[in-house]
């Protein structure tokens, strides 16, 4: 039986009872059990809730509310769309500016991995439309499930700018200087 099937069976046997990540990890027998929970929720429609969904749950707690299923969410993004999004975003993370050629800040022995991210998550009514897709590195994407970020912050923009060449930074500086000189 696959890890996903073991987790599914565990939730079904414990419907209505709060279960912990420790219990799930033990049943799953794999490190990436959170992904399997997301699959059961999003792709199979299981009503698995966490502290993101319910205020009465603590981090690390999950609850299968009922055996009734929600509509499943189609997650496939075509290779053509994936390539378009990668090219549009310059093969860089739209939050921190990391590219696939950079080494991972958290593990310098590995290169950065890029992911297609939904700005508005599918589970919250988002779509696979071009306007709702962007590129995030593994570090920025980690733990972002079902979190909506509609706009970039100055911190994100500055982080991307720091990774740009000196020439690009100077162009931005001159443009901002010119804009704010005329307004003062």
Location of each CATH 1.10.10 domain in the chain: 3-69
Pick from 153, 112, 111: which is nearest to 136 by CA? Answer: 112
**pLDDT (average), residues 82-95:** 90
**Rounded to two decimals, what is the model's pTM?**
0.46
Fold of the domain built from segment(s) 3-69: Arc Repressor Mutant, subunit A (1.10.10)
Residue 72 has pLDDT above 80, yes or no: no
Mean pLDDT of the chain: 83
Question: How far is it, in rounded angstroms, from Cα 107 to Cα 105?
Answer: 6
Stronger pLDDT, 58 or 156, i.e. the higher one: 58
More confident of the two residues 23 and 162: 23
User: How many residues can be counted in the chain?
Assistant: 184
Would you tell me how many other CB atoms lie within 10 Å of the CB of residue 149? 16
Say which residues have a Cβ less than 8 Å from residue 36's Cβ, sequence separation at least 6.
3, 4, 7, 28, 30
Q: How confident is the model at residue 121 (pLDDT cuts 50, 70, 90)?
A: confident
Res 124: pLDDT: 75
* pLDDT band per the 50, 70, 90 thresholds, residue 183: low
pLDDT grade for 150, boundaries at 50, 70 and 90: very low
Residue 3 has pLDDT above 90, yes or no: yes
**Mean pLDDT calculated for residue range 95-119:** 83
């Amino acid at each position: 039986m696959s890890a996903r099937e073991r987790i599914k069976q565990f939730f079904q046997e414990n419907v209505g009872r709060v279960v912990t990540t420790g219990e799930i990890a033990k049943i799953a027998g794999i490190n990436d059990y959170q992904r399997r929970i997301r699959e059961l929720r999003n792709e199979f429609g299981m009503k698995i809730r966490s502290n993101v969904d319910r205020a009465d749950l603590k981090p690390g707690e999950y609850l299968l509310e009922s055996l009734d299923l929600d509509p499943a969410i189609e997650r496939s993004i075509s290779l053509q769309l994936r390539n378009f999004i990668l090219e549009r975003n310059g093969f860089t993370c739209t939050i921190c500016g990391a590219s696939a050629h950079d080494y991972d800040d958290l593990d310098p022995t590995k290169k950065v991995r890029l992911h297609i991210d939904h700005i508005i998550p599918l589970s919250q009514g988002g779509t696979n439309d071009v306007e709702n897709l962007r590129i995030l590195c593994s570090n920025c994407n980690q733990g972002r499930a079902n979190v909506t970020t509609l706009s970039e912050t100055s911190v994100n923009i500055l982080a991307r700018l720091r990774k740009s060449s000196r020439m690009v930074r100077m162009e931005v500086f001159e443009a901002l200087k010119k804009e704010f000189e005329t307004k003062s």
